A and B are shown apart, each in its own frame.
Chain A
């Protein structure tokens, strides 16, 4: 089946769904609200680091750091809402046995894999497009220097959106119950990996490899763009990873999540 037909099937399934629409609206709303709040708070706030005083407005809202800062702001709805959307879209199918039914209707298992992976990629692209629109709009409104968004910011944002969507989808596929899968996903990205990483770091080995755990990599794609003098606090890494390191690692994780998804759909009972 043609990719356009597969995407059309996913669109017909999810666009009329109220939860999907609410989550999409929440994503757009919360992302916009975060930007407005950051501007509102940022203009009135100064902070000191390493003996120097910084104005967040000056640092975060001037090109090209405005794009990195906006990507960092977007990392929160990416993590919470896109991840949940990934969980929801696959568990909805299992709850109503509609994935199985699609195969019964004649959709091949490979087409199921392509449809799902194509759909989450399309959603990640849509989220990235919204990031660009918000960035351009914010820059115009703020008058702080409209410019071409840095490729690393755009690609990092897209990879992060895709990574969270895939991670959520995988959690949904493996657990199959919406509430349990959502809780497991949120617990993992919010604290389980962090706690496990710190325990391992202090009790077992202080290895830089811990920076390559999935949540570390995904959050590291859009680090808070603090000035160099502040040091590496971005992404919450124990040790800093370069843009290229997190990008390659994120691509590998996306391929891994997609591979596990494909394997489960192709080879297990539906």
Chain B
């Protein structure tokens, strides 16, 4: 049963089409990443499924329930920046969240300890650093022990230490078997946290699936030889090589799954070509992402 099924969702802001017929399915237990450049429609999508933005057309369903059924209390969400009453402290703000979620005895102390805000629980929210605000937002998402967490750019504006802390908390939550939907434009973050990913650009879904299958991190190989043209002819017709292209005075390529650079070297040597350059370069996620978004 899908936790969230988004069906052909569209949203226009005047003449700007923020979402353009988007379809996404998130299954229970997935850590689902929404990956896309700034302005791709990630936050608009989350705003619609959280009911703060009205869609122009299309529909969505939570937990396969009919529209109108109140399922929102099973969802904890952080959308864009954390928003709390600045004159209230952490406990008072979380108490409001608990009342909204219908939780009579919320474990506020343990939540504040989890996000390391226990010592500052009586300080007004306005006195918090950005990292503390973000951690309080994470705590608010956990009030009522929701089945699904939605996190929109949860490490935005944090220093490296804060980023690591927040990622650590998210991983701890994911380990409890909760479904997490994480929107981010940081590839590294998605790769480190998510099990599945959908890549969005200009409000359209470009790709979706398991992280390993979408964001291919197979290394690229650079090769060079005195007779580059002969090497090119050899490799262009061989199934060991994919995405062969000339780059300056060398050839760049990906190897088919399971093939090694040593085999390439042997193949060239057997054909009378001596390689004078052979480098295996880890393929960056950025390159893969750019390839997908430029299609």
Contacts and interface: CB of A to CB of B under 8 A. Distances in A.
Contacts of B47: 269
B73 A106 contact: yes
A18, A96, A101, A268, most chain B CB atoms within 10 A = A101
B51 interface: yes
A215 to B, nearest CB: 32
Contacts of A106: 70, 72-73, 75, 100-101
6 contacts: A12-B92, A98-B84, A101-B83, A102-B96, A103-B50, A105-B101
B87 A17 contact: yes
Interface string B70-85: 1011010101010111
B85 to A, nearest CB: 6
Contact of A100 (B52, B72, B100, B101): B52
Contacts of B54: 267-269
Interface residue range, chain B: 20 to 34
Interface of A: 1, 5, 8-9, 12-13, 16-18, 96-98, 100-109, 267-270
A105 B168 CA distance: 23
Contact of B100 (A17, A18, A105, A270): A105
A133 B118 CA distance: 44
B233 to A, nearest CB: 58
A93 to B, nearest CB: 9
A78 to B, nearest CB: 26
A8 B50 contact: no
Given A98-B84, A98-B85, A9 B51 contact: no
B30 interface: no
Contact of B85 (A96, A105, A267, A268): A96
Contact of B83 (A9, A100, A109): A100
B96 A104 contact: no
A13 B92 CA distance: 9
B100 A107 contact: yes
Contact of A104 (B79, B92, B99, B102): B79
B101 A97 contact: no
B87 A16 contact: yes
Given A100-B83, A101-B83, A12 B96 contact: yes
B3 interface: no
A269 B53 contact: yes
Contacts of B140: 105
B25 interface: no
A228 B81 CA distance: 61
A108 B70 contact: yes
A96 B83 CA distance: 6
